[in-house]
Structure 1
Amino acid sequence: MNKHIIVTGSSRGIGYELVKILAEQGHRIYALSRNQQPIAQLNLKNVHSLSCDLSDESSIDKTIDFIKSQSEYIDVLVNNAGHFLNQAFEDTNIDDVKAVYETNIFGVFTLTSKLIKTFPKINHTVNISSMGGIQGSVKFPGLAAYSSSKAALICLTELLAEEYKESDMAFNCLALGAVQTEMLEEAFPGMQAPVSAQEMATYIANFALTGQQLYNGKTLQVSNSTP
């Protein structure tokens, strides 16, 4: 059965590949990103590429209004958009830190809340976090803002699952390890990850469509390294 799916952060990397995979399966996709052109240029059937700034509430409202005009319901929400920052703690620019949280936490909070008000039976919400947000995992200098925001996303997932446990909605989180994306190259130039964006997107697509059958309020560590 074809689903109505929202994917944020769709202009590159995992989000870009995820939209292609889900579209090929025949689902209706709303691809959200500040830059709508990469997906729009693919001319994929049943895919709406929408310009949406998750740090701007009015942009979110406009996007949801359009989605509501096209679909009576949403089955799956994948909060994939992420803002990365590598900055030494003693050189911290709080405006840069706020920008990270605007996308990684506040944007997710606002978009998810407004979507639930509009489409109160979203079957599965998948939040894309990072292994850096897992307590006890390997940490890297300079990632205080990014990794702490991803830890907050994990906690938010658990809280939403608890708050809506009497509904038909499920909330889960995937904490990703290193994936070969543009963001990884910007963060760690020259690093070669063991997993491609397409491989990870394939996993996320399957989990987004089926994970709610077995999980709710859970964070799965999607990494082939230890710890």
Structure 2
Amino acid sequence: MKKIIITGTSRGIGYELALQFAAAGHQVLAVSRKIPNGLTGNPNITCLSVDLSSEEDLKQVDRFIASAWKQVDILIHNAGSLLNKPFGEITPEEFENVYKVNVFGVANLTRICLPYLQTGSHVVTISSMGGIQGSMKFPGLSAYSSSKGAVITLSELLAEEYKERGISFNVLALGAVQTEMLEEAFPGYEAPIKPKEMADYIFNFALTGNKYYNGKVLQVSSTTP
């Protein structure tokens, strides 16, 4: 039984992941701004209402780990903020807000979890094909895609910095999955993969991927976008 933190669990892939890990007998800390009814009441799931852009909110996670778990086996950075707007029309505040969730939120939550990560722990960051150098880029997604590129580099650096402690950091750069966020980015586009199907893949990778990878970026995409 592993102790697993998942962000962005109010909908989509994160929601499905929380249910899947709990059904397999693992302990899940589900972190999202909104707590969905479907996760409450499950004996293997603890829900915390946390705004990842708020350092004050993130202290809730630290307090929970310190008092209830004492360790973290898997951390999945799944939450994301998306803005679809022409670059010239984006205000500095809007651009910064995307980075506060997608980059600073990842960095700050990782920093909180570091004292509790053990040898064999696995940190998985869900990025996007839009953050991959040389991949096809789409107008309107400058803040989102550039932030997803930033966490790729951050994960590569952390893998190097903490390899002697036996902590693995890997990135899954996802292609199109039929989520509400995809609809925001590409209205009307229908992806070939459903959230539960992608959750199946991430579930297995989070549990076993660190045996084979560290500091790697895996492109999980069958289509463009």
Same fold (TM over 0.5): yes
Report the equivalent of 1:132.
130
Percentage identity across paired residues of the two chains: 54
Report the equivalent of 2:223.
225
Q: What displacement does 1:225 show?
A: 2.6
One-letter code aligned to 2:177:
V
One-letter code aligned to 1:69:
S
How many angstroms apart in 2 are the aligned matches of 1:186 and 1:46? 32
Q: What displacement does 1:62 show?
A: 1.9
For 1:48-81, what per-residue CA distance to the aligned partner results, in whole angstroms no more than 9, with x for missing partners?
A: 0111111111110122202321112110000001
How many angstroms apart in 2 are the aligned matches of 1:38 and 1:221? 32
Is 1:90 the equivalent of 2:68? no
- TM-score by length of structure 1 reads 0.95
How many angstroms apart in 2 are the aligned matches of 1:12 and 1:24? 17
One-letter code aligned to 2:118:
K
Report the equivalent of 2:16.
17
How many angstroms apart in 1 are the aligned matches of 2:7 and 2:151? 15
Instruction: After TM superposition, list the pairs within 5 Å mapping 1:61-100 onto structure 2.
Output: 61-100=59-98
One-letter code aligned to 1:121:
Q
Report the equivalent of 1:47.
45
- State the number of aligned residues: 224
Is 1:121 the equivalent of 2:118? yes
For 1:110-152, what per-residue CA distance to the aligned partner results, in whole angstroms no more than 9, with x for missing partners?
A: 01011103x0426000000000000111100011100000000
Q: What displacement does 1:39 show?
A: 4.4
Q: What displacement does 1:40 show?
A: 3.8
How many angstroms apart in 1 are the aligned matches of 2:200 and 2:154? 24
- TM-score by length of structure 2 reads 0.96
Any conservation in 2 of the 1:6–1:30 contact (CA below 8 Å)?
Answer: yes
Q: Structure 2 unaligned runs (5+)?
A: none
Q: What displacement does 1:167 show?
A: 1.2
Report the equivalent of 1:5.
4
SS at match of 1:76: strand
Any conservation in 1 of the 2:141–2:185 contact (CA below 8 Å)?
Answer: no
